[in-house]
Amino acid sequence: MSNSELQTVLELDQIIGGYGDTQILHGVSMRVDPGEIVVIIGPNGAGKSTAMKAVFGLLNLSGGKVRLNGEDITNMPPDQVVHHGVCYVPQTSNIFPSLTVEENLEMGAFVRTDDFRPRLQELYDIFPPLAEKRRQAAGTLSGGQRQMVAMAKAMMLEPQILLLDEPTAGLSPKYRGEIFAIVKTVNATGTPILMVEQNAKQALKIANRGYVLVDGKNKFEGSGHDLLEDAEVAEMFLGGGAPP
């Protein structure tokens, strides 16, 4: 195994796949290195969320490989992927609305056999609003706070990598800013993050690296800064130089 493989937490190597007879991914490649925030952007239908779901075993790949810390996890069932240290926060249906905040987080620890209470406290320190509302039904929270619950629930397993699918979808600008700040805070604890985002400008500002997918293929890749400064990327996906 090469040093570069040893340094890579997650690698998608020329993956091909889709749903049923519909092919969506046509040889997509990307990687997440230790400590990184990596963002996937692109137009609707580009295969962004599909690429992420491929990591979590939610569709069958007909070609290519997915590797976690150098180990082949291609087409591994989701329950086994979780045991390997990958946690995934889907865009919708990502909390238990009728359970309290604390019960949601406890559900996130479902495969742990040790005392997870210290981890619970760590996450309350990262997500202070959740500590205040730990006894409140999660479904009664604001959209931004529900997203915090979903992320904290996934973090209960202390994952090797966290996958976030559109974490700011449908949120107000205020809550979008809060979620991006929390993504940075979670990442600062040492957790690498792979994130699909429609709010491309804000996402690239916090990203170490980014990938732009178009029609299920890699179109651009580079550091978050370089993609923000790239005229073609800006014109196609960031609204060009036009004022908001």
Domain total of the chain: 1
Contact indicator for 197, 182 with CB cutoff of 8 Å: no
Looking up residue 66, the CATH number of its domain turns out to be 3.40.50.300
| 52 found inside a domain | yes
- Alpha carbon distances (Å) from 108 to 19, 155, 185, 200, 219: 28, 8, 19, 29, 35
Element (H, E) at 140: none
Residues 6+ apart with CB under 8 A from 98: 137, 138, 139
Give me the domain span that covers residue 214.
Answer: 1-85+193-238
| 112 found inside a domain | no
| 208 found inside a domain | yes
Residues 6+ apart with CB under 8 A from 200: 39, 41, 237, 238
* CA pair distance 195, 179, nearest whole angstrom: 12
| 138 found inside a domain | no
| Rg of the chain over all Cα atoms, to the nearest angstrom | 18
| 135 found inside a domain | no
**Number of residues assigned to the chain:** 244
Q: Which residues of the chain have pLDDT under 70?
A: 1-6, 239-244
| 64 found inside a domain | yes
The pLDDT assigned to 62 comes to 95
* CA pair distance 106, 98, nearest whole angstrom: 14
Span 39-96, pLDDT tens digits: 999 998 999 999 999 999 999 899 999 999 999 999 999 999 999 999 999 988 899 9
| 42 found inside a domain | yes
The pLDDT assigned to 236 comes to 86
State the burial class of residue 174 (Cβ atoms within 10 Å of its Cβ: 0-12, 13-18, 19+). Answer: exposed
Amino acid identity at 81: V
The pLDDT assigned to 185 comes to 92
| 45 found inside a domain | yes
